[in-house]
Structure 1
Amino acid sequence: MSETELKTEELPPLYQDSSFWGMTVTQFWGAFNDNLYKQLVLLFCAQQALQLQTDDRQGTALAVFALPFVFFSGLGGWYADRHTKRTIVIACKVAEIIIALLAMAAFFTGELLPLLIVLGLLSTQSAIFGPAKYGILPEMLRDDDLPQANGIIQMTTFIAIIFGMASAGFVKQAYPDQLWKTSYFCIGIAVIGTIASFWVRRTPVAHPGLPFSRSALGIDTETRGLLRNDRRLLSVLLISSVFWFVGGIVQPLVNIFGIGQLHISESRTSLMAACMGVGISLGCIVAGRASRKRVNFKLVTIGAWGLVACLAAMAGFGWWATPEAGETLPKADVSLWASFIPLTTTEWLARGILTLLGFFAGLFVVPLQVELQTRPPKSLKGRMIGAMNLINWIGIVLSALFFGLFTWGFNALNWPMSNVFLFLAAVVLPIAILYHPKDEILSHDRP
């Protein structure tokens, strides 16, 4: 029995592995902080646009959040293969504490520019963290545990998104002029995440002495060669990018749909958006369990058709839910807790459709994530995750540009923004029709 096989067999069961749960807790609170702050900035932009009749700067904020992933994901992948990923995880969590302190100062100013600067720093930290976060999973877990592990990681990530996004609407209504107070909470969360990161076990350096080259800032030569020779891996990478392009448009679209088209409060709009997170969490868990120790691409097909149906339903729902129907909803609730109870059929339907949308998104994304972790050789896993982040965030940058174009064009034509949902359904439809690769069995032992 080889040393690698022995180490694999000695790994504890997934649900008893403190290292895995340390990673789960660490990334959960990091995702919470990311989405709390990002949603606060998006709501700030949406409110300014509607109250001051200025351009909606949500697209600008999303671009500021996305661009560091484009510029630094490759560098994060190089670091992840060149150094032990545990060290990178801990360093990124310490950086999160510092950024939370800077966020407090930005809130004090009440101006958009400092908020955007901190948003850019937050995404830079996340860009470096991502390749280590996902790259360490195949190093410290059995391959056949990865579907369930990714299901749990993705589920907890989107639960964090739920609470982060929903909390943003509540704290903005509760402290409209004192948002800096939320930073105490964010700092505490960053500290908890940092402590949890020390539970993560140290894994061997994937590629000791890996030299740095300028290509490492993007997709390096070895990774490009792998993608050129492995068309299956390349197709997974590109489809993953399409998924994040669609998701990048859906989030601000739901914000402007709720506040501008349905005329509901910020807390209700945040809860409506958070319903997608509830659905994604459920979808990720179902995908992890249904995979049964294989990369189950049938789930991608089911997820794609579900996304098409739900996006088309949201477009049709937008035609029916006219502004007059939404005017019966209060623009500010008497109690923040009252926001949890939908007041009209309009709000019930919107939350239900968005929950289903999230569920099918969870089915769609988990097999893609597992394939990108397991298919590359060990020495390239970190850089492949960096490439994945880079390509995904190029999709998100494009989503910010498209959202800005849609906002400008639809306002000029006086069209409801809910029509954008139909465009997104058309983007996903070719994947549902044409993309049907065979499942891939995951072995007990690592390659």
Structure 2
Amino acid sequence: MADSGTFNQKPRDDWGSLSSGSFLGLLFTQFLTATNDNVFRWLVIGIGKDYVDPSQVGKILMLGTVLFVVPYLGLAAIAGYLADRFPKNQVIVGCKIAEILIMALGIGAIFLQSLPILFTAVFLMGAQSALFGPAKLGSIPEILRPEKVSLANGLFGLTTVGATVIGMAVGNKLTDLTGQKGVEQHVWVPAAVLLGIAVVGTLLSLLLRPLPVANVMRKFPWDFPVQTYRDLRTLTSRGPLFRVALGSVFFWSLGALAQLNIDQFAFEGGASTETQKVPLLVCLVFGLGLGAVLAGIWSRGRVELGLLPLGALGIVVFCFLLFLVRGTIFQLDESTTSVLIWACVFLGGLGFSAGLFDVPINAYIQQRSPRECRGSILAASNFLTFSGVALVAVVFALLRLSYSPGSMEQVELAPITVPQQQQIDGVQSGFRQDWTADTDQSTIESILEAHRELPRRHLLATLLWVDVTQRD
């Protein structure tokens, strides 16, 4: 990258507006980057499910998330260095070129039917996003006047939401379109989509005007783990910035958990294809986009931290309401159920509340960070944020270990065959009907004795769960 230290910071009167070519180029570059991230990620998750037993799907979700976010931890110091030492527009263009190469690797992995190479591409995509983030976010206050930063973050939230909806929908559609392991039919379509989006995004990134170097004297952090620690010290030494960064950790960790849960929530609610879960995701991200835009408008050119308590309260309330959703979400005849409607309403409310929470946080960190170390502070904030995301992914996988609710022994259950599971389901149905009819039912002990051919722990856990829920 050329050294652009000769550029001087332009006076505020010359800074661009929301309609400037630089801001629009950055906005649409971000939109296409987020779209490709989601198309590729959900395509990989869908293909990855074909390589494992259905009981192991949670591990695929966890692995995909962890591989994507680990680079944010390892490359935080390097990402901050690039954003401070070089013109941010050049860093962005370089990251977009890398995206083209990574998408080519991912497509090759699909053709080769190599799950390890495919997940390697996910890891590299995470690395590209980690290096892209501080330069992208740090560019906003350098391109725009200060009073436009909050609204700009609202627009970024809206485009990110739109990209998430489109990316998830397209990724899931490509999974269904290409068939088993992504190679049964129409194998050229993912290649055209992924490479096409990457190339167009790279061309749009060229619209950014040259930006000044924030710190021309900064050295490459060869001791990047130590530099990450220094960046964290820089962040924690600024108390208000650190507290707001912790709010970002909460937001993104909860968002990652919501995404992971929706996939399982949909299939446990009766979804039989990847595309059926799209309405749930659309409602979540539509609410997020609406909340982000309104947060930008309500801020009225200021950084409005007063929206944070309102957003946090909404997140708590709608998470609890989603916990209360019970029953079949997707019917075999594809009819709309009341359960689906309520799930969509609550997910929309959750997204709206999250949008109110996120925009003030981003605007505050960008605007209040000193220009000479803004990249380092944003990188440190990203490190904390994605540490939370990685932790949530691991906790999600642990919570999905095959322990049956109500099991007295709390021992991980060994796999059983499909016929055995069908027999256990039949026994469970009969036991539940006895409870519903309020008739004299057999005791758990007598049922276990009558079905000694079935795995005892599985049957015991199932019967205990019926007993507990019916008593409640």
CA-to-partner distance for each residue in 1:241-281, whole Å, 9 max, x for gaps? Answer: 12111111111110011012333431011331232111111
2:332 aligned counterpart, secondary structure: coil
TM-score by length of 2: 0.79
The answer as to whether partners of 1:71 and 1:218 remain within 8 angstroms in 2 is: no
Query: What CA distance in whole angstroms lies between the structure 2 residues aligned with 1:60 and 1:262?
Result: 24
The answer as to whether partners of 1:135 and 1:382 remain within 8 angstroms in 2 is: yes
1:200 aligned counterpart, secondary structure: coil
Aligned residue type for 1:299: L
Label 1:217 to 1:192 Cα distance change in 2 as closer, same or farther (>3 A): farther
Which of the residues 244, 257, 268 maps onto 1:249?
A: 257
Structure 1 stretch 117-126 or stretch 350-359: which is displaced more?
350-359
Residue 132 of structure 1: aligned partner: 135
Identity of aligned residues (%): 30
Query: What CA distance in whole angstroms lies between the structure 2 residues aligned with 1:128 and 1:231?
Result: 25
2:324 aligned counterpart, secondary structure: helix
1:274 and 2:282 are equivalent in the alignment: yes
CA-to-partner distance for each residue in 1:171-203, whole Å, 9 max, x for gaps? Answer: 222221345521211111111111111110111
CA-to-partner distance for each residue in 1:260-308, whole Å, 9 max, x for gaps? Answer: 2333431011331232111111111001111112111121111111110
The answer as to whether partners of 2:100 and 2:199 remain within 8 angstroms in 1 is: yes
Label 1:157 to 1:354 Cα distance change in 2 as closer, same or farther (>3 A): same
Shift of 1:411: 5.0
Shift of 1:379: 0.5
Label 1:55 to 1:29 Cα distance change in 2 as closer, same or farther (>3 A): closer
Aligned residue type for 1:298: G
Structure 1 stretch 227-236 or stretch 133-142: which is displaced more?
227-236
Label 1:80 to 1:55 Cα distance change in 2 as closer, same or farther (>3 A): closer
Shift of 1:230: 1.9
Structure 1 stretch 69-78 or stretch 170-179: which is displaced more?
170-179
1:41 aligned counterpart, secondary structure: helix
Label 1:220 to 1:182 Cα distance change in 2 as closer, same or farther (>3 A): closer
Shift of 1:219: 5.0
* Aligned positions of 1:257-336 closer than 5 A: 257-317=265-325, 320-321=326-327, 325-326=328-329, 328-329=331-332
Label 1:187 to 1:54 Cα distance change in 2 as closer, same or farther (>3 A): closer
Structure 1 stretch 256-265 or stretch 62-71: which is displaced more?
256-265
Residue 63 of structure 1: aligned partner: 66
1:293 aligned counterpart, secondary structure: coil
* Aligned positions of 1:17-96 closer than 5 A: 17-46=20-49, 51=54, 56-96=59-99
Aligned-residue RMSD, C-alpha: 2.4
Query: What CA distance in whole angstroms lies between the structure 2 residues aligned with 1:411 and 1:54?
Result: 17
Structure 1 stretch 103-112 or stretch 60-69: which is displaced more?
103-112
Shift of 1:397: 0.6
Structure 1 stretch 136-145 or stretch 81-90: which is displaced more?
136-145
Query: What CA distance in whole angstroms lies between the structure 2 residues aligned with 1:145 and 1:213?
Result: 33
CA-to-partner distance for each residue in 1:25-77, whole Å, 9 max, x for gaps? Answer: 11110100001111122233456656476763211111111111111122111
CA-to-partner distance for each residue in 1:391-430, whole Å, 9 max, x for gaps? Answer: 1110111011111111116557689xxxxxxxxxxxxxxx
Label 1:413 to 1:329 Cα distance change in 2 as closer, same or farther (>3 A): farther
* Aligned positions of 1:416-435 closer than 5 A: none
1:117 and 2:110 are equivalent in the alignment: no
Residue 13 of structure 2: aligned partner: 9
Which of the residues 189, 198, 223 maps onto 1:190?
A: 198
Residue 363 of structure 1: aligned partner: 356
1:262 aligned counterpart, secondary structure: coil
Label 1:215 to 1:232 Cα distance change in 2 as closer, same or farther (>3 A): farther
1:201 aligned counterpart, secondary structure: coil
Query: What CA distance in whole angstroms lies between the structure 1 residues aligned with 2:121 and 2:197?
Result: 17
Query: What CA distance in whole angstroms lies between the structure 2 residues aligned with 1:149 and 1:117?
Result: 34
Higher helix share: 1
Label 1:34 to 1:181 Cα distance change in 2 as closer, same or farther (>3 A): same
Label 1:125 to 1:305 Cα distance change in 2 as closer, same or farther (>3 A): same
2:211 aligned counterpart, secondary structure: coil
Extract unaligned runs of 5+ from structure 1. Answer: 334-341, 416-447
Aligned residue type for 1:187: L
Query: What CA distance in whole angstroms lies between the structure 2 residues aligned with 1:224 and 1:248?
Result: 23
TM-score by length of 1: 0.83
User: In terms of Rg, which structure is larger?
Assistant: 2
The answer as to whether partners of 2:244 and 2:365 remain within 8 angstroms in 1 is: yes
- The higher-RCO structure (CA 8 Å, 6+ apart) is 1
Aligned residue type for 2:92: V
Shift of 1:209: 2.1
Label 1:348 to 1:43 Cα distance change in 2 as closer, same or farther (>3 A): farther
Aligned residue type for 2:70: L
Query: What CA distance in whole angstroms lies between the structure 1 residues aligned with 2:103 and 2:162?
Result: 20
* Aligned positions of 1:141-220 closer than 5 A: 141-176=144-179, 177-178=184-185, 179=187, 181-214=189-222, 216-217=224-225, 220=228
Which of the residues 241, 246, 250 maps onto 1:238?
A: 246
Residue 431 of structure 1: aligned partner: none
The answer as to whether partners of 1:218 and 1:390 remain within 8 angstroms in 2 is: no
Shift of 1:329: 3.2
Query: What CA distance in whole angstroms lies between the structure 1 residues aligned with 2:137 and 2:224?
Result: 18
1:294 aligned counterpart, secondary structure: coil
The answer as to whether partners of 2:235 and 2:377 remain within 8 angstroms in 1 is: no
The answer as to whether partners of 1:49 and 1:56 remain within 8 angstroms in 2 is: no
Query: What CA distance in whole angstroms lies between the structure 2 residues aligned with 1:289 and 1:13?
Result: 15
Aligned length: 397
Aligned residue type for 1:13: S
Which of the residues 343, 348, 364 maps onto 2:336?
A: 343
1:213 aligned counterpart, secondary structure: coil
Residue 345 of structure 2: aligned partner: 352
Label 1:411 to 1:69 Cα distance change in 2 as closer, same or farther (>3 A): farther
